[in-house]
Amino acid sequence: MSTIEDARKLIGVPQYEETGEFPVERSYVWTMCAAVENGNPLFWDEDAARELTDGPIAPPTMLSVWFRPHHWAPGRTHEHHPLKVHFDLKERLGLPEAVMTDNTMVFYEPVRPGDLLSTRQILRSVSDEKTTKLGTGCFWVIDVEYTNQKGEKVGVESYTGFGYRRASQERASQERSGGADRGAS
């Protein structure tokens, strides 16, 4: 386990640059719209999409979906972790639990079916240790930047995460280690 200071060395460093496993799929747009009963004609009506957005687009808030892989793919050799920087921090700081508390998305060029997006993750901040009703841990902010195959920026997401140990986990950890290494896991 490393310290908060070590974790902060990654602030501002682009990490995990990658291109999507699949192009943006129109049927997935319909799956999403059906799940929340979104009848916006941009997604369902060819004429409306042609007139208003020069053809079909994906709902802007689906931005992060395009980098969450399908549950399985043939020949996939590595386990993809969306928001890997978040999971790295949990591991690095020895925090077994985490929640996302805050999420901002900024939208630029529309995402269209057939687009192949690229992404990178940038850690923006790591707080000092704090205790909330969930447990004790750190807050952090991670930006995820997205571009399309033409290099145009399509969006940026900022996530605030809180990684923590529950009070019971903290006690168990202290008992195992005699209290010398509180977060070992």
Comparison of 35 and 180: residue with beta carbon closer to another protein: 35
Comparison of 9 and 76: residue with beta carbon closer to another protein: 76
Comparison of 9 and 70: residue with beta carbon closer to another protein: 70
Separation CA 31–CA 26 (nearest Å): 9
Give the nearest distance from C-beta 46 to another protein in angstroms: 11
What is residue 11's DSSP assignment?
B
| Strand, helix or coil for residue 175 | helix
Residue 125, Cβ neighbours under 10 Å: how many?
13
Alpha helices per DSSP H over the chain: 4-8, 26-35, 41-44, 46-53, 84-93, 167-177
Comparison of 13 and 100: residue with beta carbon closer to another protein: 100
Give the nearest distance from C-beta 5 to another protein in angstroms: 28
Separation CA 115–CA 149 (nearest Å): 7
Task: Give the list of residues 6+ apart from residue 116 with CB closer than 8 angstroms, or none.
Answer: 19, 20, 23, 24, 148, 149
Comparison of 31 and 125: residue with beta carbon closer to another protein: 31
Give the nearest distance from C-beta 129 to another protein in angstroms: 21
Residues in contact with another protein by the rule CB under 8 A:
28, 31-42, 47-48, 51-54, 59-62, 64-65, 68-71, 99-110, 152-153
Give the nearest distance from C-beta 130 to another protein in angstroms: 17
Give the nearest distance from C-beta 16 to another protein in angstroms: 17
